[in-house]
Structure 1
Amino acid sequence: MNESNFNLQSQAYKQIIGKILRNEYIPGQKISQKSIEKDLQLGRTPVREALLRLRRDGLIYTIPQSGTFVTKIDLDAAINARFIRENLERKIVYEAANTEDNLLLSQARDAIALQEKYAANGEYNKFFEADEEFHKTFYLTTNHAQVWDWLQTVNTQFNRFRWLRLAISELPWNTLIEQHKEILDAVENHEPERADAAVARHLHLMFEEEMTVLTSFPEYFDNLPE
């Protein structure tokens, strides 16, 4: 595969997975290669290769004589991904709070400011992106960018859950913002134990809000509790 084809395949993959994450392609929806080609304005080969990769990732599946479908959100996988991220990120922020050179933390402050702006405007897609930038800052601060990149490969189901959480108006966005402020304040003031506890509370929020999300979108999930 030449570099041009590889770049087009990567572009197709990123765009499709982004649409799955943002529920533009909703869990359980039937999709077709032709409709995606038209949607993305890309050719058959890069889209086909991207779909093969997404099938390997478990984000789409094919039923013979029926078609290709977006997988539902695997709740067990989302819970396990949250467990991995919580335990890693607690160590990351603990390390960040013990780091003297915190020049990169200005990016975390900027991300919070953007979240406040997007919350006021109801722009949950941009709010989510700013949320990701906030958390990524601590991995960059501690020279663990590769860990962040690795997390993205296991975080897909958890992130799909998080996206739905933002779509539910009765779950306050300000809770997330205030928790971010607490984490950043603890890191900037070199209080690792407080930073650790703040991250644990923040990432444990999934359990506290789980039933609200599941009740609102039961058709989007596999492995629902009985």
Structure 2
Amino acid sequence: MAREINYQNEAYAAIKNLILKSQLIPGQKISKNELVDLLDIGDTPVREAILLLKNEGLFHVIPQSGTYVSKINLQEVFEAKFVRENIEKIVFAEVCTQITQEQLQELEKKVKIQRIYFEANDQEMYFKLDEEFHRYFYEITNKLFVWQWIQSINISFNRCRYLRLEVKELKWQDILEEHEKMIELIRQGEKQALIELAVAHMERIHHDVKIILQQFPDYFEGNPNE
């Protein structure tokens, strides 16, 4: 029984990751058998994983047609941005007054590592370190439960962010440089400037979506101007 649950969890995580990175293309028709072959996992774990992901809105079924990867919902992208922006204004302000020297050094270390992966053109680790940078602000302020809750509404936002890495016009370096600037503002105790940069950091999604839509128009649903 435990092994079956492990296989189901493995299938769920693997399929969700493929959707997150658009390796399963938004709008793509997909069957259970295709996923079984792709993942080399048995029928039952894959079937159960598909049901879970349907409940999360990542797959949808068209009667008498089949199962499709859900497109990226722009309303969900912008609402997740709204939530993160308003929470992070508070979290970043608290960090500016609460952070210890040791925590500041850890934050600097994370950004230095992110720069290494940026220079190595490693998208996977760059994205992971981007997430870890933001997560650490919640850790400093004892709000990791809030961070975990945000992840439950963040999937469309993150799907969009992964696509951003595929668009040449949108530079990875911009995000990294903003992280470095945030650290400098924390070091200087510039709380208001840090809050303003945190807001601008989130607001860039509106600009980015317009560029991403030019390259991947069929991956999205909803109004980009909302």
- Unaligned stretches of 5+ in structure 1? none
Indicate the percent of aligned positions where both proteins have the same amino acid.
36
- Determine helix, strand or coil for the equivalent of 2:129: helix
- After TM superposition, the score normalised by the length of structure 2 is 0.92
Aligned-residue offset at 1:120: 2.2
CA distance in 1, matches of 2:162, 2:34: 24
Residue 144 of structure 2 is matched in structure 1 by 145
Q: Distance in 2 between matches of 1:104 and 1:49?
A: 41
Match of 1:6 in 2: 5
- Distance in 2, matches of 1:111 and 1:218, equals 34
1:7-86 equivalence runs, <5 A: 7-86=6-85
> Which residue identity does 1:14 align to in structure 2?
A
| Cα deviation, residue 195, structure 1 | 1.7
User: How far apart, in 2, do the equivalents of 1:5 and 1:106 lie?
Assistant: 43
Q: Secondary structure at the match of 1:68?
A: strand
When normalised by structure 1's length, the TM-score is 0.92
Cα distance in 2, alignment partners of residues 224 and 123 from structure 1: 32
Pairs within 5 Å for 1:83-122 = 83-101=82-100, 103-122=102-121
Q: In the TM superposition, what are the counterparts of 1:75-224 in structure 2 within 5 Å?
A: 75-101=74-100, 103-224=102-223
8 Å contact 1:9–1:46 — kept in the other structure?
yes
Once the two structures are overlaid, the 10-residue window that deviates more, 71-80 or 43-52, is: 43-52
Decide which moves more: 182-191 or 170-179: 182-191
Could you tell me how far 1:6 is from its partner in structure 2? 2.8
- Asked if 2 retains the 8 angstrom alpha-carbon contact of 1:105 and 1:141, the reply is no
Describe the superposition over 1:70-119 as per-residue Cα deviations: whole angstroms up to 9, x where unpaired.
00000111011101011111111111111143534444323322332222
User: Does the C-alpha gap of structure 1 residues 65 and 99 become closer, same or farther in structure 2, counting only changes over 3 Å?
Assistant: same
In structure 2, C-alpha distance between the alignment counterparts of 1:144 and 1:4, rounded to whole Å: 33
Quickly say closer, same or farther: Cα 1:70–1:141, change in 2 above 3 A: same
Gaps of 5+ in 2: none
Query: Displacement, 1:225?
Result: 4.2
Q: CA deviation at 1:158?
A: 0.7
Write the deviation string for residues 29-65 of structure 1: whole angstroms up to 9, x where unpaired. 1112122122222222221111111101111011233
Bigger shift: residues 98-107 or 122-131: 98-107
Distance 1:194 1:3, change over 3 A: farther
Q: Offset of 1:122 from its aligned partner?
A: 2.5
Deviations 1:145-174 (A, max 9, x none): 111111111011111111111110121111
Greater shift, 132-141 or 120-129, is seen at 120-129
Measure, in 2, the Cα distance between the counterparts of 1:24 and 1:111.
Answer: 27
Shift in CA distance, 100/115, structure 1 to aligned 2, threshold 3 Å: closer
